Amino acid sequence: MKEFLKIGVSGVRGIVGESFTPQLAASFARAFAAYVGGGAVVVGRDTRPSGFAMQCAAVSGLQSAGCTPVAAGVIPTPSLCVLVRHLRARGGIGITASHNPARWNAMKFINSDGMFLSAQRAAELYDVYHQGDFPLAAEEAIQAADEPADPVGPHIDRVIDYVDVGSIRKRAFSVAVDCCNGVGALSARRFLERLGCRVVSCFDKPTGEFERGAEPLPENLGVLRELVRREGCDVGFAQDPDGDRLAIVDNTGEAIGEDITLAMAVWEVLDRHGKGPVAINLSSSRCVQDVAERRGCRVIRTKIGETHVVESMLASGAVVGGEGSNGGVIIPAIHPCRDSYAAMAIVLELMAAERKTVAQLRAQIPRYHVVKASYPLQGIGVASVLRSLRRKYEHMKTSFVDGVYVEIDDSWFHVRASNTEAVLRITAEAPTADAAARLSATLRAEIEDAARAL
């Protein structure tokens, strides 16, 4: 079945050659140029084979509308966000479908502060696009594209300045990194070596051919796990194709789960960089909340999506947070975006400060079990299904800011419509694997019953 274009707070994404084309990229770039009102706009991409064509299309769209494109080339998404702010550009366009398979691509829009557009601002941009009344610059007003000499440098410098580099370098950690043949293939080794690490790598060619699943889930990290064991590494890091998410493999070669990435980051930031509120999305593990509350810090749960977490962090003055459900760590003092490079540095700093292995650190974090599932949306009334769940569980501790979130004693579940795929996301967490599986199965049955009743 042909996939349709998906337009929302996460940007514009679709299947290359079907719903996502160079013509579309040029049109959205023209709309963005009209929206920001001219000036410099930074364009970057991940390593997908379609990325260069889409970048060229976006650059031409910006030029035709009178903007000055800044072609950053292959660049991690957090580096792109930092670069927009560093250059004082009017905005940025990231051409990446992040964790989606290689046949997908997308455009993500960044404001002048280096943050993704809020839901309201994204809606305004899409209104401009749908109206189709874009400015067209005369030939003499067409601006040549700039190319920054070191587009990743400002980002790496900010991360290096934030952590205790001396303590990390003293430990001379041995690190394995899985770059998924994405943007990290060009920058992860350079970054880790600046931290004094010995680096070994896999899937480290910037080809955009994802030889393992694009999401750094435990089941996709077999090669990294073996590399850690074979090389006797202290830790293994796995990035997604655009470098904003991070998963960790411990010193025994075990993948510890993406939520633990965020739990460790929260631990280190609160212990050594200052106390304050912590903002996490509704599908993040309770272990992250436990780590923060042990340190006397308030936890705010938000809608799914980086934009929603960042907005909550800035409004509350949160010092750390993110999306444990995808290994997305956000440290506003570095930059308010998900950042695998900040996550790597803060975990290495934690290892150095505590003088413990990753396995030993993992043992100090409360253990829960998560089951994630999905239910296809075709042919069902999503709003009606969610209303049915709300009525069933309304007597419990709930949140309805994003689908249905319910706490049941020492367990919880979250059901919501995906921002990026035509599915309902079902996340269930409990103290044991059996309890989490039963809760997930119960929810799927209740969703099926509600769908049949429509």
Nearest CA to 274 out of 296, 258, 290 is that of 296
Tokens read off for 303: 């809608």
| Structure-block tokens of residue 2 | 């042909």
Tokens for 208? 């955009």
- Tokens 């404001």 belong to residue: 111
The count of residues in the chain is 454
Q: What value does the CA radius of gyration of the chain take, rounded to a whole number of Å?
A: 22
Q: SS3 helix, strand, coil % of the chain, rounded to 5?
A: 40, 25, 35
Residue 98 is among the residues annotated as catalytic for this protein: yes
Distance (Å, whole) CA 278 – CA 269: 10
**Local structure of 404: helix, strand or coil:** strand
CB 265 within 8 A of CB 256: no
Amino acid found at 90: R
Query: Strand 91-95 relative to strand 39-45: parallel, antiparallel, unpaired?
Result: parallel
Return d(Cα 189, Cα 198) in angstroms, integer.
Answer: 9
226 within 8 A of 204, measured Cβ to Cβ: no
Q: Residues 172, 198: contact at Cβ < 8 Å?
A: yes
Bridge partners of residue 408, in order along the sequence: 411
- Residue 290: helix, strand or coil by DSSP? helix
Give me the catalytic one of 98, 201, 284, 388. 98
What contacts 126, CB < 8 A, 6 or more positions away?
7, 31
Amino acid identity, position 31: A
Question: Which residues are tagged catalytic?
Answer: 98
